[in-house]
Structure 1
Amino acid sequence: AQLADATKTLTSRELAELAETMSARELAELAETMSARELAEMAETLSARQLAEMAETMSSRQLAEMAETMTGARLQDFLKTLSPAQLADATKTLTSRELAEMAETMSARELAELAETMSARELAEMAETLSARQLAEMAETMSSRQLAEMAETMTGARLQDVLKTLSP
């Protein structure tokens, strides 16, 4: 609690220097005491390695709150540090726009790993945000079961888009 109070007065540079000396567990404990905005500000100061280590120790709620406050490249950097299960938890709170931005930066393999952790409904929602190219790349790496589940939740033009991407 004292550390949390003390960090509120630090500059980004000072916070980054402090974070360098902390373990992932200590960073996670500190994160527990911070608001989503404060978490995002702290995340801006961390290296990719520190961010990855901290993410490993954070709860799904913390991961989601932190992701909600980030945008663009920093959000993408953060999401790349997460395991597929953590990523699935974090993406549950993202808007369609945020999900589309994130998907733009992911490989077909990464999209497929993420798809493995999602329900059919979540898959369909994600598919709605993808470009035709992304959809085709993702479909290539998905199992027949995943494709069938995803197709069951889609209708109309979007379903046709998915079906066009599939090989015979």
Structure 2
Amino acid sequence: MTLSLEWVDEREGGAGEREEKWMDLLEKLLNIAGEKEGITNGVVTLTLTDDEGIRELNRQYRGLDKPTDVLSFSLKEGEEPDIRFEGEYEAEEEGQEGWKDEVKAEDPFAGMLGDVVISVPRAEAQAQEYGHSFERELGFLFVHGFLHLLGYDHDENEQERAMFGKQEEVLKEAGLTR
């Protein structure tokens, strides 16, 4: 297994050529960040959404009824992930056999690092507000979300400096400077 990115576009109209180019950039960032953190295997799922979509997730999971720029849902935090697969695959109908292949019978979530959700309209607005490219803002949000999946946080000043320093290293290596 390698480090890989899967993505979904939940915005009305979905993805197009522009988004395909974003994925190349985000895969590059994922690999740079993964290498720096010693993560060589796993799957990150990225969902592109709008302000209403991320507002609903923010309300549901954080109790904040407002849009935000990025949310992360780690499958590696704590003792056990929220989603798990228990036992072997079982036949759905009487008389059918389940999987004989032990690999297929293993936990299908074992390689999942988690989900990152980004509001594209918020990323566009913030890029304009901060005076840098949309690609840099998207990259910043994605790397930020990825580091949250690995357990980084920014509740305290020292944690924030460390996390934001790591983000800037990755962005700089990818050529996404201010």
TM-score by length of 2: 0.21
TM-score by length of 1: 0.22
Greater helix fraction, Structure 1 or Structure 2: 1
